[in-house]
Structures are given as structure tokens and as C-alpha cells.
Structure 1
Amino acid sequence: MKSVKHVLFITKEFESEFQQNIGGTGVFYKNLTDAFIEKNIYVSVFGSSRKPFSIKNDKLSVLFVKDYFKKNKFMELLRSVTGKVSFLKKLHFKIYDLEFKYLEKELAKFTESKKIDIIETHDWEGISRIVENSGIPYVIRCHGSWSILHNFFGYGAAKGKMYNEKKAFENSDHIITISHNNEKMVRQIFGEKNYHLIYNGIDTDIFKPQKGVQILEKSIFYLGNVSSEKGAETALNAFIKVNKTEQNSTLHFIGKETDLVNQLKEKISQEKLGQKVYFHGKKNRNEVIELISEAEVVIFPSKGETFGLALAEAMALEKPIVCSNLEAFREIVSDKENGLIAKSEDEFAHHISQIFSDQSFAAHLAKKARKTITEKFSSQIMVQKTLEYYTEIINK
């Protein structure tokens, strides 16, 4: 039986000194890379970005070439124009085909002397198209495609990107979904395929209860982009209700700020809550751990998720959580057992107050929360299941 010795990741994001302000996909592939290297597996990473960069050490080789549309300003302009005119749709899609031909050629140069066993790519932008002719088995992992975000969560999405995703899924044989809910959505958009469920994992050796941390009494923490999609208005409105009876309570937003913040601050001013609501901005992993460790309760009022990575991180830190009634969240949270599920702003406020008033119940939820993550959603489990799936594929 063949074993996995060399993995290639194709991604538009990879956490490094060259790409720091990135989303969860980049962090995911950096963490997975580190885990594979610890297991003596060689990792190559290929992608494109505004500025090209490379990294090379004993078991890691990274190459990011210059983004096609940043390299070809005329094509970027043409892409923008054709994307707005319906009868130019075919030309618009053709421009994306040219981008992938460019990436395919650059990838071929990068892998020319490498003996790669298997390739993994993310689903968004359909980047797996560049490996379809490589002769190497590949896997698409569903981190959250534009097609899913557009159709289920109302995000704006470029037609060309969704075109790429459709083409990518049509030609793929192996797809990793990250939750049952995620798989259901992917199947609805892309049809019946060979789906394989592997839950995203949390490093429970890093996300663990911190010793000697002083809990901020009556503190409510929100972790995620400060946006309508993540439920920032719900968080503020629930806090306003809580604060009427818990006047020492505070609300803390941790995450990338959007234009919505100005509206929130205006309402905070109207309600005279200026000294009680804090915007910490986007923080790195260690800063998030430090801040969340001070929370008395962490809330997740999101309107749509494919999994709930931030939720799982807070639970791994042994925090009582309150989350919205989403199918993806319900795969992780059992109401009143390892967290609380809220169906409205009033329920968010009620559950928060319940945690504040019943310390033994809050401690019970927190202990069960961490136990759930360590037993079912740890990165160790995710890495092992990923390698088992890779091995199954390369031995077919």
C-alpha cells in the first residue's frame, strides 16, 4: 500500500509573513502544513497573490506567483467591464479561462521535479481547474464557495468565480465537506458527487483554558467579522436588553470591522452605552485566546455558517456560549448541554442573563463545551481522517 509522502496545496491564501491579513482558509492550510510536516510529510504550496513570494526549507516549498489580473491590467479592466454586460458573458468567462491557463503553466514549472502523491485545493474560485490535467489525484475541500455564499447567505459574487466553481465541481471526483449542513448545501448547488465528511478541527493544545486569567465580570464577547451576516446588530440589541438589568455588563466585539460599525456606534451613542461597548478589531490567534479567556460568555448570533470554527475555538477555551439556531451550529452545540441556542434577540438576552445569574450552570456548559471539541472536533482527529482519506484515494 502506498503511503502519503508529499502533499501539494493549491490555495489563494497561506498564512505567512508575506500574507498576514487573510481569512480562515489561509490559516487552515498553514496549520495543516505544520501538522503534516510534524508527521514527516513533505508539503508544497502553490498559489497567486498581489505580490509574488516564495518560502523554502527542509520539508516545505511555497511559491505564490503574481495574480493574473494584477499582472495584466488590461485583462482586469476587461474582466470588470464584461462582468457587467450580460451579452458579454461568454467573453467574461473566457477571461477566467485565460487566468487558469496562466496558473496551470506556472504550476507545471513549480512541480516539474517534484514527486507529488496528492493535491488538495479549496472550493472557492474553482481553483482546482488548474490541476485537472496534472495526472495527480486531487481533493477539493469545501471551505465556503462563492456559489454557496451567494445562494444561501446573500453575498455578492462575481459571475466568473461562480462559473469557475461550477466547472471545477463538474470535473472533480473527491470532495471533502466540513459538516452535514455544508454537504447538504454543496449537493444542492453542485449535484451528486463523491462527498466525504471531515469536520474542521481545533488545536486543543493551543485553544485550552488559560491559567491565572481574571474573568471580566458580566462581560459578553462576540467573535467574528462585525457584520450583518455574522449578526452584529443582534449582539448589540441583545446587550441593550441585558444591560437594563445588568448595568455592569459590557460587550466586546473581536473581528474585522465593516461599514456596519458606524451604524452600531451611532446606536451605542444614542443609548448612552459608550463606556460599555468595545471594538477590539481583528486580532491574531494568541490575542484572540487572551481576550476570549477573559469572557464570562461568548455569543455567536450569525445568520449563516457552513461550520462554525470560531464557535468551536471558544468552546475549546472552556467558555459558555450562546449561538443562533443554525443547522451548522447544531452539529456542534446541544442546547442546554454544552451551550445555549437562541432563536431571537430576546432569547440571546435571556440566555446571557441566565449564564450571569447561574454560575454552576455556566461552569457545567463550559466543561461540556471543551469536552465536545476534544472528543469530536480536534485538529488531531481532522488531520488523521484527512490522511486516511488521502491514502484511500492514492491506493484506488
Structure 2
Amino acid sequence: MHIAFLTPEYPHERISHSAGIGTSIRNLVVALAQKKVKVSVFVYGQQENEIFVEDGITIHLIKNRTYRFMGWYWHRKYLQKYLNRYILSEQIDAVEAPDWTGITAFMRLKAPLVIRFHGSDTYFCHIEKRHQKLKNYWFEKLATQKAKAFIAPTAYAGKISQELFDIKNKTIQTIHYGLALERFENLNPEIFENGLILYIGTIIRKKGVFELPEIFNKVRVKFPEAKLVLIGGDSSDVQTGISSTWQILEKEFDIDDLKNVTYLGKIPYQDVQKYIKQAQVCVFPSFAETLGMVTIESMALQKPVVNTNIGWAQELMVDGESGFLVHPQDHLLYANRIMELLADANLCLTIGRNSRKRVEAIFDIEKIVQQNILFCQSITDQL
């Protein structure tokens, strides 16, 4: 079997941008290659055209092109032509693409198309109750019509996407993102910095970052030495149009609390684990995700997580056992859960151990890769 992945991001030194989508794709394709499945990754929107092989995976960097007229159409037709050339010459059995921007909207591919619901603009606008441009919905809707089947990282994301795009008589399979657990080992979970609270994610409203100032303020009433560290790229703010969300967020913190807040910006992926291991508690008060890679990464490293309780999050952990689920706007309860953990190192260790067991049972890439292989085989067998 030969599976291709079309994506705008992928974790690699020659690729400028990668976030949760890229990480989840890399975890999967590396595991597929280890199972002797042939894999090609087509990364569009790049600064150069290049093809190279790494870890048994063929990676295509596709240079971004500009067009004077209807670039949104001709860009997709160029990618279609590029993909079809290799579908035929390399005998690719299936192509997987993300739902974001409806990149496959006008493509006629010579292999079955599977769309994975990483999180479309339509999905996020619905979750956040934001207005969506009609053009964006149109692209994503057309893309779903071209797909033969769909994969959702959580049942929640699949159900919402199915309703939004009115998908009927097509398979939507829930397959979680997976982790290579040997890369997420914490040999000394009992060693951490007391009072260190860690947030990892883009500094953007939908991640719930504007809930943190009040939550942290409540925590510091009882734990004045508590520290909050934020890691992640800055972004423009959809409500104000200001180019830096962090500049707005920084002003929301109490002046005294801000002395205990550190924003590190975006740091190398390999350095993130160090901060997770150092933290006593990880917090993810998000309003909009399809799963949340960094949540399960923190759980795998035996960290107690205070997570959002919205939809998808209820599939990640059992409240009170392998983490805490709290609505981001319930600041008092959210702060109380954090304080329970800060006050009890043994509780941190217990929940951390349970978190690791939960990840081993549900998010182990060895199990996830088999689910993906069987699903792709079922799609190609229907031809």
C-alpha cells in the first residue's frame, strides 16, 4: 500500500511552519513507514521545490506560486496536476488531505481522497460562534463533496463536521491522533518545580488564554509563589485586529501577578518536553480544538492536566481520575482544581500515572497506525 498526505505543515528544519496538524501527521507517517507502508508527504506553500527521503518517507516540498487572477483556483489545479503525476507514476493508493481551507475543493485526483477533520474554518467558526466568510465555507464544503471518506480525531469533531457540511452516505471514522510513547518518557515524575503552571499553545482567543489572568489571580491568593509560563507563537487578535494577542493579554494580568508570568514565545519542539517535565500542572483552557496534541503529550509525560471540558476533551481523560475537566469560564472551579494539585504532590503523581495509562490504552501510535491501515485498506478495497 502507498499512502500520500497533502499538508501545509510538517515538522522539519526545511519547513517554516508546523503545529498540531504537522505533528500528528509526522507521528502517523513515521509509524506507517515502520510498518513497511510506503508513504509520501506533499507539503505545499513552501519556498522551494525539492524531493528527498527521510526515515523511509518521501517528502515533496512544493513551492508556493502566485497568480494574477483566481489564484485560489489555479493554485489548487496546480497541486492537482502535481499530485496526479505521482499518483500514477508511484502507484499511490489513497490521498489524505486536511479539511482546513478546503484545499482539495477543485481537484480531480486519480486516487481515493480521504479528508481528516483536523479542524476546518467552518468548524472553528461554529465552535467560537464567529462569522465565517462565505467563500471559506464554499471551499470546504466543495472539498467534502470530493472526498470518498473521512477520519475524525474525536467523535465530537466528526459529529460536528458532519452536521456542518451535511455529509450523508459517507464513512466518518473516528481515529485518534497517536504518540510514539518511547519518545515521551518521564523517568522522574516526582521531580518538578513546585508551583509551576504551564500553558502550551498559540496565544490566541480560541485557546482560552484570556481566561488565564483571572484564574491565575485566584491561584495566587493561596499560592503567592505560583508561576505561570506560556509557550507558543503569538497571533493577531480577531476581535481587535491588533497584530499581537500577547500585547493585549499581558495587560489583562494584575500588575503583581505579571511578575510571576513568563511568556517564552515559540520554542523548538524538542525543548517543549523539558518544560512539561519541569511543570507541576499543565493547563489547557481551550474553547476550540478537535483533540489537542499537547494535552495528550503532557499526559504521556505523567503531568496532571486541568483541561477544558468542552466536547472533544471528554474523550481525552476521565475527570478526577486522569485529569480535570472544567469549563474555561468557570474561573473559580478552574483555579480550585489547579490549587488542589499545587497543594498535594501525591495527587499530582497519582493523576500523572493515570494519565500515562490512559494514553497507553487509547493514544499509543502502535494501535493508532493499525487502525489507519485497516481503514485505508477498506477504502481501496471498495474500488
Normalization by structure 2: what TM-score? 0.89
Q: 1:55 aligns with which of 51, 54, 74?
A: 51
- Residue 130 of structure 1 deviates from its aligned partner by 5.9
Counterpart residue identity of residue 107, structure 1: L
- Residue 123 of structure 1 deviates from its aligned partner by 1.3
Cα pair distance change 1:306/1:378, threshold 3 Å: same
Helix, strand or coil for the counterpart of 1:176? strand
**Residue 356 (structure 1) aligned with residue 331 (structure 2):** no
Q: Which residue of 2 aligns with 1:126?
A: 102
Q: Are the aligned partners of 1:255 and 1:281 in contact in 2 as well (CA < 8 Å)?
A: yes
Provide the rounded CA distance (Å) in 1 between the counterparts of 2:246 and 2:374.
44
- Residue 212 of structure 1 deviates from its aligned partner by 8.2
Provide the rounded CA distance (Å) in 1 between the counterparts of 2:199 and 2:193.
14
Q: 2:285 aligns with which of 263, 283, 301?
A: 301
Cα pair distance change 1:30/1:107, threshold 3 Å: same
Q: Are the aligned partners of 1:179 and 1:197 in contact in 2 as well (CA < 8 Å)?
A: yes
Q: Which has the larger radius of gyration?
A: 1
1:316-352 CA distance string (max 9 Å, x none): 1101111122111111121111111223111111111
Q: Are the aligned partners of 1:100 and 1:130 in contact in 2 as well (CA < 8 Å)?
A: yes
Gaps of 5+ in 2: 236-243
1:139-186 CA distance string (max 9 Å, x none): 111111111112222457554333221111123221111111101111
- Residue 213 of structure 1 deviates from its aligned partner by 8.0
Provide the rounded CA distance (Å) in 1 between the counterparts of 2:130 and 2:16.
24
Helix, strand or coil for the counterpart of 1:334? coil
Q: Are the aligned partners of 1:123 and 1:141 in contact in 2 as well (CA < 8 Å)?
A: yes
Provide the rounded CA distance (Å) in 2 between the counterparts of 1:132 and 1:242.
54
Q: Which residue of 1 aligns with 2:332?
A: 346
Provide the rounded CA distance (Å) in 1 between the counterparts of 2:232 and 2:265.
5
Q: Are the aligned partners of 2:306 and 2:337 in contact in 1 as well (CA < 8 Å)?
A: yes
Gaps of 5+ in 1: 80-94
**Residue 261 (structure 1) aligned with residue 246 (structure 2):** yes
Q: Which residue of 1 aligns with 2:160?
A: 185
Q: Which residue of 1 aligns with 2:215?
A: 238
Q: Which residue of 2 aligns with 1:86?
A: none
Provide the rounded CA distance (Å) in 2 between the counterparts of 1:14 and 1:304.
21
Q: 2:229 aligns with which of 224, 228, 252?
A: 252
Q: Are the aligned partners of 2:51 and 2:61 in contact in 1 as well (CA < 8 Å)?
A: no
Q: Which residue of 1 aligns with 2:238?
A: none
- 1:191-340 equivalences under 5 Å are 191=166, 192=168, 193-211=170-188, 214-258=191-235, 259-268=244-253, 270-340=254-324
Q: 1:164 aligns with which of 139, 142, 148?
A: 139
Q: CA RMSD of the aligned region, Å?
A: 2.1
Cα pair distance change 1:133/1:25, threshold 3 Å: same
Helix, strand or coil for the counterpart of 1:253? strand
Helix, strand or coil for the counterpart of 1:314? helix
Provide the rounded CA distance (Å) in 2 between the counterparts of 1:41 and 1:158.
39
Helix, strand or coil for the counterpart of 2:357? helix
- Aligned positions, number: 369
Normalization by structure 1: what TM-score? 0.87
Counterpart residue identity of residue 231, structure 1: G
Q: Are the aligned partners of 2:298 and 2:305 in contact in 1 as well (CA < 8 Å)?
A: yes
1:202-242 CA distance string (max 9 Å, x none): 22211221448841111111121122211112122111111
Q: 1:365 aligns with which of 351, 354, 372?
A: 351
Q: Which residue of 2 aligns with 1:137?
A: 112
Q: Which residue of 2 aligns with 1:40?
A: 36
Q: Which residue of 2 aligns with 1:153?
A: 128
Q: 1:64 aligns with which of 36, 56, 61?
A: 61
Helix, strand or coil for the counterpart of 2:207? coil
Q: Are the aligned partners of 1:221 and 1:298 in contact in 2 as well (CA < 8 Å)?
A: yes
**Residue 98 (structure 1) aligned with residue 98 (structure 2):** no
Deviating more after overlay: 386-395 vs 39-48: 39-48
Q: Are the aligned partners of 2:282 and 2:298 in contact in 1 as well (CA < 8 Å)?
A: yes
Q: Which residue of 2 aligns with 1:84?
A: none
Provide the rounded CA distance (Å) in 1 between the counterparts of 2:189 and 2:19.
30
- Residue 301 of structure 1 deviates from its aligned partner by 0.8
Helix, strand or coil for the counterpart of 2:206? coil
User: Stretches of 4+ moved more than 6 A in 1?
Assistant: none
Helix, strand or coil for the counterpart of 1:229? helix
Provide the rounded CA distance (Å) in 2 between the counterparts of 1:171 and 1:395.
18
Counterpart residue identity of residue 204, structure 2: S
